Structure 1
């Protein structure tokens, strides 16, 4: 296989992308084909796949085994967990999240696509757009994934007919556009044979667009958050017992967005107290500026009461704090989420008590209609919720920041994640009705 030097790798950009689709649409085979044909598979990995395939009586290697790493997945023949793979070409580095296709594991796609800049949604050319396709498109839209690739797979089983591809592409693009997906690129492929995955297909000369890999290598990457609203969720307050620096007090965390500079005026939320940055430590060394994803320690001019869960922001760009949060959510737990449900809400590094005041609507994926006031959300449902928190939180709109505009709801009894939420995202839900449930001590 060809190799990439360390210098070449350092100069390439990074693309995080996820795959999604219904069961047996060929996601794992597509990922395996990408890895195999781009020469990103180690010799011993390929030999292991060949041995397992031969033991099953298969003449050719089952490339799906390159991603279906769990024993249960191999036994069932389906992907049941998010499988992360890392590979590179001379043009770009990739972090790939292969998400499950079974409706039971739709919630796993939320995890896989939450940090993705591109989602590849597979469709079986024989079946066309199905409910699970629409569900995955809705999640991609909610998570504001900027690029969606529709990979119409198994074209070899429909005689490589252009009209089959065109009909599916037209239906999906219309649906995705209505959801607000900004860009859809449709590509006809056969992951099993390799048509239009890495190499152009000789069987579809009517298609003049890019292969899957070519598109992945050239799609614009815009995950630079350094120009967004600066946010530092405090993870830890550092007070070293050091005779040389007896008054040292630093506030450590990973910058969620934007950049901070020494001398900048900042505000600590939710308290609202202000100060100036007197120093920034990065990997034990002082720096003048730090930006998104760097883990740093900020030092302030004033002695302010700051603890884990607080948010440090520029004073000129501080978000409002609120106890009333309205958001679109994807419910991920088996137990339903109901009106009046007592939960814990985790936002950034802060966790507070909260109560579900209302569920204004649930999205019907077939026609994008809204079912008003369903009373509950069950596993894999997408809907609107109104939550009241015990303490004010500084939240951004998810449209402005995917990190500080998101939250999760947690069961306070066992710590299970119930729901993933995006603040302010909406499918134009109807006006909510007032919740008249009895006061149970959690009504903040």
Structure 2
């Protein structure tokens, strides 16, 4: 009897039934090794399969989909050296070492398993697509040899260092969301290939290493600590930018990005939309629901129905409820006109710079942050009260009393005519409100907490 005519013994009824369906065999008929050798393209996804014993005889397979089953042992795949595309995502696999002989493999998808080592990648020299989202990967050293990769997804792992990616100069799509990454400098050599990058939910504060990536069309960087967008200025092909839940307050660097049609900026301290007033955003209906291409909820925009900002947001087709916005104060150095949103106020004295420190009027700033301000002429002392906190600070002192505790500063409280002025650092540290500076004109922006 020929070896190929031997009956294949399956340990899993679901696998056996699925193979018979593919082979168009009666459920009572035997499956032979020759039958298995006839298979080249096989989809076994979502079949409840626990064991793939028997698949080792399908020696001519080039495409195999085993996704969304209950497989924990992939050893039967070891002899299948002709496979070019393999999907084993959504299983319970802890090791992919048995795939090392699949040297023709171009696409490997192993999402949602318990994989920690990807050393097998060193043997797969033709790999152009690799997806390993939601595993337990921390070391990606093996990727330094995967120089044919054009598509790489490693979302939802435990990756800190990404130095091995610097040699992947053909990479077009890279996804690294939900890891522990803070340093993007290894991506700099990818500037002539990378078109799409997802670095959301990491520990990133600086985008400067992306500055030369002029081919980029899509950048997702939500849930980080990004403040400055200057490195994006020359990304003229950028179409989609997601910066939800960051620290972005100045949109000026986006002014010249005319291809930018999707911009997600919810939960940032954005206070001014003028830099993007000439952009067009692709807000549209999709299956009956309105999909906003410009999202600005949870910012510092003055969206009262009478404001220019409200009119501009409507013109741009953006989403940003007035009830989700906080207030921002703007104080121009040397000007007695201050702003809260688009409302203007006259100050008794203008903010000024002394000894390289920026000073702002304590009563105006504090009261608009919800504090009560008192002045004791005899003690020459300001009292600021909010909730359960009381701050006392005397003129020309470099320390304040906060609920009985002494807090030191490098600049004193100053009196100017009949106004008390505080160094702006006081606002951020003791009143708990973030402060930013704009250079032209010299402006202090204070964000309500």
Scaled to the shorter chain, the TM-score interval is under 0.3
TM-score (norm 2): 0.24
Higher radius of gyration, 1 or 2? 2
TM-score (norm 1): 0.25
More strand by share: 1
